[in-house]
């Protein structure tokens, strides 16, 4: 591993603001000193995920995940510590310094995955403009895509060979593990060798929001090939559900107008974008899901769905529409002629026609009802339709939006609003019953806080009081309690790190405490301690704090010291029965006894 210099790490920590980092992916609302939003680590409908910018930490009251800006990036992007540091350095424009004696071979695997994708993108691009790539280039130019556009989006070509890419990759630079993980290759059954995944395909690089290429989508040039499009599989750097094609290029324009046109394909995107309508993004690769919706929500309030005009496109529109609606977005539908997709439409009509269609696009619910209502005039058909709608509506998060939709439906279907509301309530009730078990299974992998005995509780509470930032209190505690006094397997490890930091006068701030190689379980406990400690500061006065500290110390020492004294006493008695020499044990006993009395009287004197 290349070691990032301590100086750089300090710079990153000083600059990386947890609120800033989290707000990029989670919609947050301020409530007092904290900000709340929907947890990105577990699925939830009401916000239990909080950020405390003053302390520099985040915490989820639902799943228990917590940490600082760096741990957030690690968890969210599923990357290692060093990678997270690099990501943040890039974001805040900090030039990283490395300690000497590192080279490419020792780089982190994620960094190598990014590099490999860069290299592959370069090779594909070069091939598009080579002899072998001529048919691909002709195909693209015939469709009206200019060289400038192809360059802007780094579009390339994978030749019709099994080993074209793999031959051009330097095996000394990229280990076979990295090659396998990249998703750019498939392993051949015989002889253990890797072959190119993409062959005879136009290659569309997919970028993440930081502007790094993380995957490819490939369109075949072979009319016999069944899979018209082939995409990279999920990899450590490619999270399909959170990635939208083209967003890296269009995000600023989208953010300015708070409006995005969502299309399905790469060529749809390129056509719309190059027609001067730049607030466009594509959902290529996977069906739209709530992760995509949340990413879009960071940039836009209104999404105009513009999928293919055919049946499949319309079905996809319905699904995507409800997904976006449930996340509280204003969803509009752009209805293209049956035989068209955005690409073909814009090759026939002027951009102005497209814009006109966009401006007159109806609201999603309106469109949905109009589409189905005609065919459902009998009472049974109508009530089945309402049933279906109600099921979807109950998942709309915002109650105001929900009420609005109910009104719409009532009006459009000529029904009484109360009837629909009653139905919504019934579904919500049923869901509540069902969701308890669902939530439980969802959390089954999450660590569990095991604070069972009185001593567990005392240790946990004492650690909380140690972290409220009062030196006098800290001194009082560490005088009487040392690490070996902790019994709980997890709390003991946390205590050990806290004591080590006290001794070396290192950072004891909540955000700083997360910077340690904690296990998931330890971090889960630490998070609880920090969060509860924070509320302690507010609710306790000085006298109460010291009284609590004394109580917990007494419980812990009673367990530790008291237990040792009792055990020693039994040993002495047995030794006396056997007429053995007990002098050393007696000495030890009186030493322990003396210490116990000392502490007790100190505690009582307070
Ligand atoms: Zn959570």
What confidence score (pLDDT) does residue 397 get? Answer: 66
- Residue 523 in this model has a pLDDT that exceeds 80: yes
Give distance in angstroms: CA of 92 to centre of ligand 1: 26
Structure-model confidence comparison of residues 338 and 446, the more confident one: 338
**Per the structure block, which two tokens stand in for 323?**
């997904």
Give distance in angstroms: CA of 42 to centre of ligand 1: 5
Tell me how far apart the alpha carbons of residues 372 and 230 are, in angstroms, rounded to a whole number.
34
Structure-model confidence comparison of residues 316 and 24, the more confident one: 316
In 372-515, beta strands by DSSP E:
none
Q: pLDDT-derived band of residue 441, with 50, 70 and 90 as boundaries? A: very low
Pick from 500, 502, 484: nearest CA to 492: 484
What confidence score (pLDDT) does residue 238 get? Answer: 83
Give distance in angstroms: CA of 431 to centre of ligand 1: 20
Mean local confidence (pLDDT), 393-404? 76
Give distance in angstroms: CA of 41 to centre of ligand 1: 5
- Residue 443 in this model has a pLDDT that exceeds 70: no
* Residue ranges of domains in the chain, CATH in brackets: 6-91 (3.90.580.10), 106-238 (3.90.980.10), 244-361 (3.40.1360.10), 370-442 (no CATH), 454-605 (1.10.860)
β-bridge mates for residue 4, sequence order: 98
Give distance in angstroms: CA of 288 to centre of ligand 1: 22
Q: Phi and psi of 216, rounded to 5°?
A: -135, 150
């109910």: which residue's tokens? 406
Give distance in angstroms: CA of 40 to centre of ligand 1: 7
Q: Tell me the Ramachandran region of residue 458: left when phi exceeds 0, alpha when psi lies from -120 to 50, beta otherwise.
A: alpha
- Residue 113 in this model has a pLDDT that exceeds 60: yes
Give distance in angstroms: CA of 551 to centre of ligand 1: 33
Tally Cβ neighbours within 10 Å of residue 416: 9
For residues 285 and 315, the answer to whether their CB atoms sit within 8 Å is: no
Pick from 424, 378, 377: nearest CA to 403: 424
Give distance in angstroms: CA of 58 to centre of ligand 1: 10
Pick from 495, 505, 549, 561: nearest CA to 525: 495
Starting at the edge strand found earlier in the chain, the sheet holding 57-60 runs 29-31, 34-37, 49-52, 57-60, 66-67
- Residue 223 in this model has a pLDDT that exceeds 50: yes
Give distance in angstroms: CA of 53 to centre of ligand 1: 18
**Per the structure block, which two tokens stand in for 73?**
């990036």
Give distance in angstroms: CA of 62 to centre of ligand 1: 5
Q: pLDDT-derived band of residue 434, with 50, 70 and 90 as boundaries? A: very low
**Per the structure block, which two tokens stand in for 366?**
């309106």
Q: What is the mean pLDDT of the chain?
A: 86
Give distance in angstroms: CA of 528 to centre of ligand 1: 13
β-bridge mates for residue 263, sequence order: 282
Give distance in angstroms: CA of 514 to centre of ligand 1: 17
What confidence score (pLDDT) does residue 83 get? Answer: 86
Give distance in angstroms: CA of 446 to centre of ligand 1: 10
Give distance in angstroms: CA of 443 to centre of ligand 1: 9
- Residue 531 in this model has a pLDDT that exceeds 50: yes
**Per the structure block, which two tokens stand in for 236?**
């450590």
The percent of the chain in helix, strand and coil, each rounded to the nearest 5, is 55, 10, 35
Pick from 545, 599, 554, 564: nearest CA to 454: 554
Give distance in angstroms: CA of 248 to centre of ligand 1: 27
Starting at the edge strand found earlier in the chain, the sheet holding 302-305 runs 280-282, 259-263, 302-305, 330-333
Could you report the per-residue pLDDT of 344-392, keeping only the tens digit for each? 999 999 999 999 999 999 999 889 888 887 777 777 877 788 888 888 8
Q: How far is CA 381 from the centre of its chain?
A: 42
Could you report the per-residue pLDDT of 66-106, keeping only the tens digit for each? 999 999 998 888 788 888 998 888 878 777 888 765 444 44
Q: How far is CA 534 from the centre of its chain?
A: 25
Tell me how far apart the alpha carbons of residues 406 and 393 are, in angstroms, rounded to a whole number.
8
- Residue 135 in this model has a pLDDT that exceeds 50: yes
β-bridge mates for residue 224, sequence order: none
Give distance in angstroms: CA of 302 to centre of ligand 1: 27
Give distance in angstroms: CA of 43 to centre of ligand 1: 7
Buried residues in 196-219 as b, exposed as e (16+ CB within 10 A): bbbbbbbbbbbbbbeebbbbbbbb
Give distance in angstroms: CA of 576 to centre of ligand 1: 59
For residues 469 and 546, the answer to whether their CB atoms sit within 8 Å is: no
Q: pLDDT-derived band of residue 1, with 50, 70 and 90 as boundaries? A: low
Give distance in angstroms: CA of 59 to centre of ligand 1: 8
Give distance in angstroms: CA of 80 to centre of ligand 1: 20
- Residue 283 in this model has a pLDDT that exceeds 70: yes
Could you report the per-residue pLDDT of 202-212, keeping only the tens digit for each? 999 999 877 88
For residues 279 and 257, the answer to whether their CB atoms sit within 8 Å is: yes
Could you report the per-residue pLDDT of 273-282, keeping only the tens digit for each? 999 999 999 9
Q: Mapping DSSP to helix (H, G, I), strand (E, B) and coil, where does residue 41 land?
A: coil
Give distance in angstroms: CA of 182 to centre of ligand 1: 29
- Beta carbons within 8 Å of 123's beta carbon, 6+ residues apart: 156, 165, 168
Q: At what angle do helices 542-577 and 454-466 cross, to 10 degrees?
A: 140
For residues 326 and 290, the answer to whether their CB atoms sit within 8 Å is: yes
**Above pLDDT 90, what percent of the chain?**
37
Give distance in angstroms: CA of 64 to centre of ligand 1: 6
Give distance in angstroms: CA of 45 to centre of ligand 1: 11
- Residue 484 in this model has a pLDDT that exceeds 80: yes
Tell me how far apart the alpha carbons of residues 289 and 269 are, in angstroms, rounded to a whole number.
19
Mean local confidence (pLDDT), 298-303? 90
Give distance in angstroms: CA of 28 to centre of ligand 1: 14
For residues 81 and 109, the answer to whether their CB atoms sit within 8 Å is: no
Mean local confidence (pLDDT), 505-518? 87
- Residue 405 in this model has a pLDDT that exceeds 90: no
The widest CA-to-CA distance across the chain, in whole angstroms, is 108
- Beta carbons within 8 Å of 79's beta carbon, 6+ residues apart: 73, 87, 110, 236, 237
- Residue 553 in this model has a pLDDT that exceeds 60: yes
Give distance in angstroms: CA of 73 to centre of ligand 1: 15
Mean local confidence (pLDDT), 107-132? 91
Give distance in angstroms: CA of 296 to centre of ligand 1: 20
């Amino acid at each position: 591993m290349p070691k990032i210099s301590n100086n750089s790490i300090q710079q990153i920590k000083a600059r990386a603001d947890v609120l800033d980092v989290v707000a990029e992916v989670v919609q947050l609302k301020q409530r007092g000193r904290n900000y709340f939003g929907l947890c990105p680590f577990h699925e939830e409908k009401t916000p239990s995920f909080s950020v405390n910018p003053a302390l520099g930490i985040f915490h989820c009251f639902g799943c228990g995940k917590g940490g600082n800006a760096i741990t957030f990036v690690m968890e969210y992007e599923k990357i290692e510590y060093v990678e997270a540091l690099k990501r943040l350095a890039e974001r805040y424009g900090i030039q990283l310094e490395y300690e000497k004696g590192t080279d490419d071979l020792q780089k982190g695997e994620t960094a190598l995955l990014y590099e490999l994708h860069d290299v592959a993108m370069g090779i594909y691009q070069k091939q598009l403009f080579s002899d072998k790539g001529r048919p691909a280039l002709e195909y693209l130019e015939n469709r009206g895509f200019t060289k400038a556009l192809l360059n802007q989006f780094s579009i390339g070509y994978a030749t019709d060979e099994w080993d074209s890419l793999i031959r051009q990759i330097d095996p000394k630079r990229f280990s076979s593990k990295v090659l396998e993980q990249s998703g750019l290759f498939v392993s051949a059954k015989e002889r253990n060798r890797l072959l190119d995944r993409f062959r005879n395909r136009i290659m569309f690089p997919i970028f993440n929001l930081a502007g790094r290429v993380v995957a490819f989508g490939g369109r075949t040039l072979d009319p016999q090939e069944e899979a018209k499009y082939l995409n990279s599989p999920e990899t450590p750097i490619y999270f399909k559900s959170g990635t939208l094609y083209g967003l890296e290029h269009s995000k600023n324009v989208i953010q300015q107008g708070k409006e995005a046109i969502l299309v399905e394909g790469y060529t749809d995107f390129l056509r719309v974008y190059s027609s001067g309508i730049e607030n466009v993004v594509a959902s290529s690769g996977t069906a739209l899901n709530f992760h995509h919706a949340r990413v879009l929500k960071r940039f836009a309030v209104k999404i105009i769905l513009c999928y293919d005009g055919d049946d499949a496109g319309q079905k996809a529109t319905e699904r995507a529409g409800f997904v976006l609606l449930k996340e509280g977005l204003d969803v509009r539908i752009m209805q293209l002629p049956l035989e068209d997709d955005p690409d073909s439409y814009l090759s026939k009509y002027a951009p102005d026609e497209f814009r006109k269609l966009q401006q007159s696009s109806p609201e999603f619910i309106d469109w949905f009802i109009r589409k189905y209502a005609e065919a459902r005039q009998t009472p049974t058909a109508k009530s089945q339709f309402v049933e279906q709608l109600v099921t979807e509506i109950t998942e709309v998060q915002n109650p105001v939006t929900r009420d609005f939709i109910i009104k719409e439906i009532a009006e459009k279907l000529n029904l009484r609003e109360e009837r629909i509301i009653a139905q919504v309530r019934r579904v919500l009730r049923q869901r509540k019953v069902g969701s308890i078990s669902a939530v439980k299974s969802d959390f089954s992998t999450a660590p569990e806080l095991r604070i069972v005995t009185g001593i567990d509780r005392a240790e946990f509470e004492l650690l909380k009081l140690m972290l409220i930032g009062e030196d006098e209190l800290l001194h009082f505690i560490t005088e009487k309690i040392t690490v070996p006094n902790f019994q709980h397997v997890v709390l003991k490890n946390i205590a050990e790190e806290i004591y080590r930091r006290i001794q070396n006068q290192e950072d004891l701030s909540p955000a700083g405490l997360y910077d340690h190689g904690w296990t998931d379980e330890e971090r889960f406990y630490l998070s609880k301690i920090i969060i509860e400690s924070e509320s302690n500061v507010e609710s306790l006065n000085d006298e109460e704090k010291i009284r609590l500290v004394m109580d917990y110390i007494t419980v812990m020492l009673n367990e530790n010291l008291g237990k040792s004294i009792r055990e020693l006493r039994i040993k002495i008695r047995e030794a006396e029965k056997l007429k053995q020499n007990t002098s050393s044990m007696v000495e030890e006993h009186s030493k322990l006894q003396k210490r116990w009395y000392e502490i007790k009287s100190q505690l009582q004197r307070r």
